[in-house]
Amino acid sequence: MKRNAGLSRALRIRETRAGYLFMLPSLFFFITFVVVPMIICIYTSFFDSNMGKDAQDTFIGFGNYAELFQDKIFLGAMRNTVIIVAVSVPAVCVFSLWVANAIYNMRAGLTSLFRIIFYLPVVTGSVAVTVVWKWMYNNYYGIFNYALKNMGVIDKNINWLGDSRYALWAIIIILFTTSVGQPIVLYVSALGNVDQSLVEAAEVDGATRNQVFWKIKWPQIMPTTLYILIITTINSFQCFALIQLLTSGGPNHSTDTVMYYIYYTAFKLYRYGYGNAMGVVLMLVIAALSAVQFKLGQSKN
Amino acid sequence: MQSKKTTAYRVAVLIIVILLALLFTFPLYWIVTGAFKTAKEINSTTPTWWPGEWTLRNFQTLFSKLKAPLWQINVPFSQYFSESGEAVVASAGPEVPAAIRWMVNTVWMAVASMLLTCFTAALAGYALAKKRFAGRGLIFTLIVCAMALPKQVILIPLIREMSTLKLYNTLSAVIYPIVGWPFGVFLIKQFAEGIPGEIIEAARIDGAGEWKTFRTIVFPMIKPGVGALAIFTFISSWNDYFMQLIMLSSTQKLTISLGIAKMQAENSTDFGLIMAGAAFAALPIIIVFIIFQKYFTKGITMGAVKG
Amino acid sequence: MKKLLALLLAATMVIGLTACGGGSTPTTTAKQEQPATTQAPAPAATTTALPAAKDVEITLWTYPIGKWGDDASVKALIDSFQKANPNIKVAVEYLDYTNGDDQVNTAIEGKKAPDLIMEGPERLVANWGAKGYMVDLASLWTDADKAEINKAVQSACFNDKGASYEFPVCMTAHCMAINMDRFKEVGADKFVNVDTHTWTTADFFSAVALLAESNESVGALYCSGQGGDQGTRALVNNLYGGTFTDEAHTKYTADSPENIKALEELSKTKGIKFDAAINGGEEINLFRQGVLDMAFCWNIAQQLNDTNAPAGQTNDGKEIVFMSFPSEKGESKLQGGIWGFGIFDNGDADRIEAAKTFIKYFAAGDGVKDAVKTSTYFAVRDKVNGADIAGIWADNAVMNEYTKLMPFLGDYYQVTKGWAEARTAWWNMLQRIGSGGDVATEVAQFVKEANEAASK
């Protein structure tokens, strides 16, 4: 008995040592470039800290946080962030599944042609794509106004990026086209890997197309769906370039996301402490979301 | 009856997919044709769908504007010892148009991020999944919480830290935070959980060391996951405009995305030049993608399907 | 026990890394500042040893001030400088007005700010200078400089404590421009005096009304960002004689009845759009493309620009005439533009000294003529140490014509405290008005935000 316990203890030490050795390279980068800045961020968020060589940081406790929840622009940015994520994540998933379902059993050449096409905006790069979209959205001679006017849908030009009613949606559309590429590729192969014998058996039993999809295919592509949900959520939260290059958060802060507003607070208003407080709030929200998402995903498995 | 309905449905779907495909191809089409249009055509307020007259002028301007050395290799860590605090240059390439250097930088940045991320994440993901060590739960919780966090959150602390470490305005300042972002570890961990414990145990009993076990038994099994991570990291670092924007400032350090964004802001009058820049940025990676398409898509999918 | 151990381990790791991450900041800054003090005697020593001065490399970041944004032109200038000062190497980076400020700000935080920067007092004096990042250049001003440089320009380059964060090179008056062919087409040319380049507020609105009958976008109050914002400010201020700040440059006064009236009139005038999707540069583009009939973001460099069409013409060959902003009596106060050099305090005495040499060369030495010509603006001085340079633009008819506007140069209020924050608040305010906000309320909010920044 005693010997056994001793052995397991030796094993445990060995495991711990090996575990940390394996973790070491990753932990180094994670702690140095993510955790440490986060701790500094949390620390500074309790100070009135501004840009300036001789600027003194004064401790104000939860002052920044108190101000945050009175700040209409911040609350609006929070709302926009939620809208972007809540709209684009399901839209991307549903759309890519639909497209993948339509193209996965075409002739091999066609499938890969479509796969390439839907992947194009991803590989073209968001900055290059933005250049074209900016022109397409142009108020005075952009292609959307041109087409819609010629078709008689609108009689006055719409200032897509300059009108707070449309600007956020204009951005979500671009985000959407640059996000669906990877999910489509993933779904095409996932669907291609579905056990064909099960599908055939079901069809013999007289199952409808819908039944086959939901009862046979859907459970089998579930892991892919989960992965897509995660990467799309991450991508949607990272949506920064589009906003910076197209609207700078305007008009009237209607396309501000918390991520962009942090940047704006730091470099247009020079208020570092306040920006960090925003970062901390966002951190808490996202951490909670991720934890919930993870727990849900785990319980399903 | 049934089959007629099915055919009609299939045709309708096909038409919609084709229309969507056109919409998705349009930006690239517009960039490539725009790059060859004359100033008059591209600045016209009515769209010209096909260049009436093909010109290389835009590319000539693009490649004649700024110059930079093709590469620059620094003596590692020399910035910590040199008097000026700048790295000592070990080798600098011949002068080429800056756009080409930006491409070199971008490829280097994306490839280095990809390799480093895959390496660190493969090791750590395996350890988290299969090693029972103290503190594992705490680390994993931290990773899950930080996984989806946008980098903007730590904007100012990160810039200051990079400056303290003398990494500001180097590509490393862009690469390291990407490597530190814990999504990769999470992904690989999910993969490695699928490895049966008995196999590892068997290898151990056979006398294989930890490293050998990882290399010969574990790595081949998580390879699809690493493939998926490699592609995800490559694409997202290629497109990760934000980190580049805040960390890089001198012309020869820029990436191609930054370069185009800068050109766009600087020369809002020369739209053809911007299109040429965008085409130059997009075409190489698209060609690479088309050539390696099979391999590329296989990499992503196997990962996710098994995950 | 084990849990405690693990916690301890994690804690030490975190602390250890924080220590080298954040904790070592003071030591490195100290190290960086050290050379400034300890090496201070060094230049003196080398000056006694004469030209054996050691090689210094400095960086210059420049905004697109005329052709100072064009690599070939700047290279030529740098070459001439290096011929005179072979031991100083200058590396140049080009900024733009959309992201340039952010780029400088991040570089400051990254402790990699350039040695030299070329821009106007609103950035160098009122922003980075006021925040303590710049070297005081007061000692660089000789009596000759003080006597020869335009007085209004001088006062803009010094702050209220007598420190100078900018050494000026060139200046201009910002104005607006009209598409003359379009004006003639609708018969609006009778409202403008092409000889004096002036018009009254009433004429302006009459012309806009005529033009709006055949064009729904006559002019645009662009407000997507701060790029070119001097145009929108000058238009609003001049229409009914409002001011942007008080005379002493202590507070923002855009909420005066004159300004409110101007904004109200503009927001209900047919043909004038508040466009939150474009900035000044894009407005100029639209004007050159013939979409807009007038541009509010104009100056002599634009008039001389021949990238897409011959200078003074739109892309489709229509005639462009520059105009002063409309005002009630036709005597507007034009917004000045001043550009020059400033030095960021990077703590290295050698580099600061080299940067000063650079400034002396281009702002008060042999390089003045070329520096001014490259900017395509006017010199801030007629003489350089007694040598007359007034004739540098003598052969340029457009420049000569433009001098008619220079007497209208108004107060250079861009050095008011909190300027960077105030201009951000300004374009945000225009966006709110453009999307239907009540003028008086929005202006009041602008003034509140701007004055809060000014009183900090």
Does C195 share its domain with C284? yes
Residue C142 lies in a domain: yes
Is A229 a domain residue?
yes
Q: Which residue of A has its CA nearest to B298?
A: A189
Residue of higher predicted confidence among B41 and C360: C360
Test A38 with B147 for CB contact under 8 angstroms.
no
Q: Is the dihedral of CA C405, C410, C412, C418 positive or negative?
A: negative
Nearest CA in chain B to C21: B161
A72 Cβ under 8 Å from any chain C Cβ: no
CB pairs under 8 A between A and B: 303
- The stretch B234-258 carries a mean pLDDT of 88
**Does residue A82 belong to any structural domain of this protein?**
yes
> pLDDT band for position B283 (50/70/90)?
confident
Average pLDDT over residues C238-251: 91
Per-residue pLDDT averaged across C114-136, rounded?
93
Selection from B161, B185, B167 nearest residue A27 by Cα: B185
Query: What pLDDT, in 10s, does the model give residues C271-300?
Result: 999 999 998 988 998 999 899 999 999 989
Residues C179 and C163 occupy one common structural domain:
no
Over 70: is that where the pLDDT of B63 sits?
yes
- B121 shares contact with chain A (CB less than 8 Å): yes
Q: What percent of chain C has pLDDT over 90?
A: 58
CATH number of the domain at C383, please. Answer: 3.40.190.10
Range of the domain at A102: 72-300
User: Which chain C residues are Cβ-neighbours of A163 within 8 angstroms?
Assistant: 276, 435
The more confident residue out of B296 and C380 is: C380
Residue C13 lies in a domain: no
pLDDT at C238 over 90: yes
Q: C84, C19, C87: which is closest to C53 by C-alpha?
A: C87
Is B300 inside a domain boundary?
no
CATH number at residue B122: 1.10.3720.10
pLDDT band at C60 (very low <50, low <70, confident <90, very high): very high
Kindly list the residues from chain A whose CB atom is less than 8 angstroms away from the CB atom of residue C435. Answer: 163-164, 251-252
Q: Which amino acid is at A129?
A: V
Q: How far apart are CA B115 and CA C290, in angstroms?
A: 51
Asked whether residue C1 is assigned to any structural domain, the reply reads no
CB proximity C91 to B under 8 Å: yes
Neighbours of C94 (CB within 10 A): 20
Is residue C7 included in any domain, yes or no? Answer: no
Which of C368 and B231 is assigned the larger pLDDT? Answer: C368
Mean pLDDT over A246-260 rounds to 90
Task: List the beta bridge partners of residue B131.
Answer: none
Strand partners, C273: C220
Kindly report which listed range (A24-28, B75-79, B125-129, C157-161) carries the lowest average pLDDT score: B75-79
Question: Is C316 in the same domain as C427?
Answer: yes
Residue A285 domain flag: yes
Which range has highest mean pLDDT (A190-194, A245-249, B173-177, C69-73)? B173-177
C354 and C319: one domain? no
Q: Which residues constitute the domain of residue B141?
A: 67-266
- pTM of the predicted structure, to 2 decimals: 0.87
Q: What percent of chain B has pLDDT over 70?
A: 93
Q: For residues C204 and C90, state if they share a domain.
A: no
**Chain center to CA of C410:** 15
In the predicted structure, residue B303 carries a pLDDT above the cut 70: no
C304 with C215, same domain? yes
Does residue B142 form part of some domain?
A: yes
Name every residue whose Cβ is closer than 8 Å to that of residue A65 and which is 6 or more positions away in sequence: A45, A277, A280, A281
Asked, for residue C214, whether it belongs to a domain, the answer is: yes
- For the segment C362-386, the average pLDDT, to the nearest whole number, is 91
Q: What is the pLDDT of residues B227-244, one digit of tens each?
A: 888 888 988 888 888 999
Where is pLDDT greater, at B84 or C9?
B84
Most C CBs within 10 A among B266, B273, B274, hence the mutation to make, goes to B266
Give the least confident one: A116-120, B119-123, C34-38, C443-447: C34-38
Choose among C14, C105, C133: nearest Cβ to A35.
C14
Residue A178 lies in a domain: yes
Residue-wise pLDDT for A145-174, tens only, equals 988 988 888 888 899 999 989 999 999 999
- With beta carbons under 8 A apart, name residues in chain A contacting C21: 32, 36-37, 40
pLDDT above 70 as % of chain C: 88
Q: How far apart are CA A1 and CA A7, in angstroms?
A: 10
The verdict on a CB contact (< 8 Å) between B251 and C94 is yes
* C209 plus C286 within the same structural domain: yes
CB contact under 8 A, B138 and C290: no
What are B178's two structure tokens?
């990407």
Per DSSP, the three-state class of B86 is: coil
Is residue C2 scored above 60 in pLDDT? no
Which of A17, A22, A119, A136 to mutate: most B Cβ within 10 Å?
A22
- Testing the interface with A: which of B18, B130, B156, B293 to mutate, by most A Cβ within 10 A? B156
d(CA B19, CA A24): 50
Domains identified in chain A, total number: 1
Q: Given pLDDT bands bounded at 50, 70 and 90, which one contains residue B305?
A: very low
Q: What is the pLDDT of residue B144?
A: 86
C138 belongs to a structural domain: yes
What is the average pLDDT across A244-270?
90
Q: Is the pLDDT of residue C133 over 70?
A: yes
Residue C432's pLDDT is 93
pLDDT at position A269 is 87
Alpha carbon distance B79, B84 (integer Å)? 8
pLDDT digits (tens, 9 = 90+) for B114-171: 999 999 999 999 999 988 888 888 999 889 888 888 888 898 899 989 999 989 999 9
Mean pLDDT across C315-343: 92
pLDDT tops 70 at residue C6: no
pLDDT for A4 beyond 60:
no
Read off the CATH number of the domain in which A101 is found: 1.10.3720.10
Q: pLDDT value at position C33?
A: 36
By the 8 A CB rule, do A99 and B14 touch? no
Report yes or no: A125 at the B interface, CB cutoff 8 Å: yes
In degrees to the nearest 10, what's the CA dihedral of A195, A200, A206, A211? 20
Q: Is C222:C280 a contact under the CB 8 Å cutoff?
A: yes
Taking CB atoms and an 8 Å cutoff, what residues of chain B touch A125? 238-239, 256-257, 281-282, 285
In a domain, A13, yes or no: no
Check whether residue C432 and residue C290 sit in a common domain: yes
List the chains bordering chain C where 3 or more Cβ pairs fall under 8 Å. A, B
Q: Is residue A77 situated within a structural domain?
A: yes
Check whether residue C381 and residue C352 sit in a common domain: yes
For residue C35, whether the previous peptide bond is cis, meaning omega lies within 30 degrees of 0, is no
Per-residue pLDDT at C121? 92
Nearest by Cα to B110 from B256, B262, B280: B256
User: Which pLDDT tens digit goes with each residue over B199-233?
Assistant: 888 888 888 888 888 998 899 888 888 888 888 89
What span, in angstroms and rounded, lies between the C-alpha atoms of C291 and C271? 12
Q: Is residue C371 part of a domain?
A: yes
Of B79 and C63, the one with more pLDDT: C63
The nearest CA of chain C is from the CA of B109 a distance in Å of: 20
What are the contacts of C348-353 at 24+ separation with CB within 8 A?
C348/B84, C348/C32, C348/C35, C348/C36, C348/C39, C349/C35, C349/C36, C349/C39, C349/C40, C349/C42, C349/C43, C350/C39, C350/C42, C350/C43, C350/C54, C350/C56, C351/C56, C351/C57, C351/C58, C351/C115, C352/C115, C352/C135, C353/C43, C353/C56
Q: Structural domain of residue C271, as residue ranges?
A: 175-333+417-454
Locate A247 and state its tokens.
């609207």
Q: Tell me, yes or no, whether B60 lies in a domain.
A: no
User: Is C349 within 8 Å of C36 (Cβ atoms)?
Assistant: yes
Residue A171, in any domain of the structure: yes
Which one-letter amino acid corresponds to residue C26?
P
Whether C315 and B43 lie within 8 Å, measured CB to CB: yes
Question: How many domains does chain C contain in total?
Answer: 2
Domains held by chain B: number:
1
Q: Using CA of residue B140, residue B141, residue B147, residue B150, what is the dihedral sign?
A: negative
Quick one: C58 and C200 in the same domain? no
> Sign of the CA dihedral B238, B242, B247, B251?
positive
Residue C53 is predicted with a pLDDT of 62
**Do C397 and C230 form a contact (C-beta atoms < 8 A)?**
no
**Lowest-pLDDT range of A146-150, B27-31, B61-65:** B61-65
B46 touches chain C (CB under 8 A): no
Tell me whether residue B43 is in a domain.
no
Q: Is residue B162 part of a domain?
A: yes
Do both C325 and C381 map to the same domain? no
**Could you give the CA distance from residue C166 to residue C364 in angstroms, rounded to a whole number?**
13
Interface test with C, best of A54, A56, A140, A256 (most C CBs within 10 A): A140
Q: Report yes or no on C386 lying in a domain.
A: yes
C344 and C329 belong to one structural domain: no
d(CA A45, CA A144): 43
Helix boundaries (H) for C39-99: 41-48, 71-84
The secondary structure element, H or E, covering residue B149 is none
What's the pLDDT score for residue B227?
84
Task: Report whether pLDDT(C47) > 80.
Answer: no
**Mean pLDDT score of chain C:** 85
Give the C-alpha separation, B81 to B86, whole Å: 9
Size of interface A-C (CB pairs under 8 A): 103
Q: How near does any CA of chain C get to the CA of A84, in Å?
A: 20
Classify residue A15: in a domain, yes or no.
no
* CA C274 to chain CA centroid, nearest Å: 22
CB-based contacts of C37, cutoff 8 Å, min separation 6: none
